[in-house]
A and B are shown apart, each in its own frame.
Chain A
């Protein structure tokens, strides 16, 4: 566990705390990032969302919004909030090693 923790410490982060280089990411780092977000264990359902996000990002160049997640990942909004409390789109993007979804101001 300590190795993972130190690994995330040395990673370059952006202003929102997301990792800067997507290529730095791996499953271990995802586990460590999840811990930071208060999610102790990543289940199969978490991974379904994370993998969907990474696929979308590769295809479209932007992490999907919560709406696109609900529509296309096969995971209902309610469950998304249970898996990634408070901000599913933001949290899942962070754990998936992606920048914050561009959203809005």
Chain B
């Protein structure tokens, strides 16, 4: 029996498990997947919890609903990978060996990387919305908040779902308008990037949306620390921005297991071939999803495109061929923009998000970089697609490689 071991049963690991399970001969392969947690969180849903649109029960399902019945599932924290020995040690003292390893342990926030962030005000007047705890705490806080200075700050790039902070300020504008207190809330978006987003065209269009919605934008702000007494964030060059409520996107890092295994870069992301998704250091190790160091977006849609590519490449490798498929960095993100509307962007390593139309067979064209109701429905539909198609590794009517069809140069 050959052994395939998958580490992490989040978006990427679960999808990969289901895809490969359908392809590998059961008489020849033993598939094992390990995760520390029994619950699957639909992380894109965390965005909606602070505004009372979703509650916790809308974003959770048991992981076991998504595992084929003849797969070995182990619920335990992973302690260490020993890639030279082809084995993995678990915290429950079990030792697993493998012929092939897929790392899909994701990324998570690490607020302790910023001085003062966790000193007392954490989840009192400083919140995150990248964890279920943070999103719920912020939801409770907003319910009774009368207004003041709301600062939304990205600590440093890269972060998962780089558009989520923008969506957050758009939704905050809508939410406080609905509550009738928008005039009492200053919304201030503070980013280390030179604009509202990373790439020029999208950055300028999204910047205009901020302007229209009366959201203040500060760029090139690199936070050094939180001053809890003054209630201000302070940059490395000593600029201060005061807040009543700080919503932070803390430093995102790969899991500590990657550091413990000596397999990561300075943010615990695993060096990965940007085309084949094979580890740069070990031929029988593959990496996908947020755990890689690739310069693509860390997003569920990206993990989905990667999973298609990796399935092909994995089959090639186990049959003795070179990996043939190349990931192009394709990402496709719906940006919720408030008041029942959304914006869509579609891009890859080489092509920045462009305006135009995005054709989708059977559903119809979406507008790129424009605010429409249709794009909002796209976002709403994404949750249903996620649970029913994406995680199960089923085919979706969207190409893994980016297409220029409909895009305006």
Given contacts A77-B224, A105-B198, contact A71 B266 (CB under 8 A): yes
Query: Are B198 and A104 within 8 A (Cβ)?
Result: yes
Q: Interface on B for A, CB 8 Å cutoff?
A: 156-159, 162, 194, 198-199, 220, 222, 224, 235-237, 265-267, 295-297, 331, 347
Chain A interface residue bracket vs B: 10 to 19
Interface centre among A67, A77, A105 (most CB of B within 10 A): A105
Chain B interface SS verdict (over half): loop
The answer to the question of A41 belonging to the interface, with a C-beta cut-off of 8 Å to chain B, is no
- How far, in Å, is A68 (CB) from chain B's closest CB? 5
Are A78's CB and B297's CB within 8 A? no
Q: Are B297 and A105 in contact, with the CB atoms below 8 A?
A: yes
Contact with B along A64-81 (1 / 0, CB 8 A): 011110010000011011
Chain B residues with CB under 8 Å of A38's CB are none
CB-based contact A105/B266 at 8 Å: no
Are A102 and B222 closer than 8 Å at their CB atoms? no
Cβ A104 vs Cβ B236 within 8 A: no
Chain B neighbourhood of A86, CB < 8 A: 220, 222, 237
**Residues of chain A lying within 8 A (CB to CB) of residue B158:** 103-105
Could you tell me if B162 and A105 are in contact, using CB atoms closer than 8 angstroms? Answer: yes
A82 to B157, CA, bound (A): 20
Residues of B within 8 A of A103 (CB): 157-158, 295
Please tell me if the beta carbons of B296 and A105 are within 8 angstroms of each other in the complex. yes
Is A87 at the interface (CB under 8 A from chain B)?
A: yes
A-B CB contact pairs (8 Å), 16 listed: A65-B266, A67-B266, A68-B265, A77-B224, A78-B236, A81-B222, A81-B236, A86-B222, A87-B194, A102-B295, A104-B162, A104-B295, A105-B158, A105-B199, A105-B296, A105-B347
Residues of A at the B interface (CB closer than 8 Å) are 65-68, 71, 77-78, 80-82, 85-87, 102-105
Chain B residues within 8 Å of A81, by CB? 222, 224, 235-237
A87 to B236, CA, bound (A): 10
Residues of B close to A68: CB separation below 8 A: 265-266
Select from chain A the residue with minimum beta-carbon distance to B329: A105
> Which residue of A is nearest B200, CB measured?
A15
A82 near B237 (CB under 8 angstroms)? yes
Chain B residues with CB below 8 A from A105, complex form: 158, 162, 198-199, 295-297, 331, 347
- Write out the residue numbers on chain B whose beta carbons fall within 8 Å of the beta carbon of A71: 266
* Contact present for A67 and B157 (CB under 8 Å): no
Q: How far is the CA of A105 from the CA of B160 in the complex (A)?
A: 10
Whole-angstrom distance between the alpha carbons of A103 and B158 in the complex? Answer: 7
| A24, B214: Cα distance in complex, Å | 46
Shortest Cβ distance from residue A105 to the other chain B in the assembled complex, whole angstroms: 5
Measured between C-beta atoms, what is the minimum distance from A66 to chain B in Å? 8
B194 CB contacts on chain A under 8 angstroms: 87
Q: Which 8 pairs between the two chains have the least Cβ-Cβ distance?
A: A104-B158, A81-B236, A67-B266, A105-B198, A104-B157, A102-B295, A86-B220, A68-B266
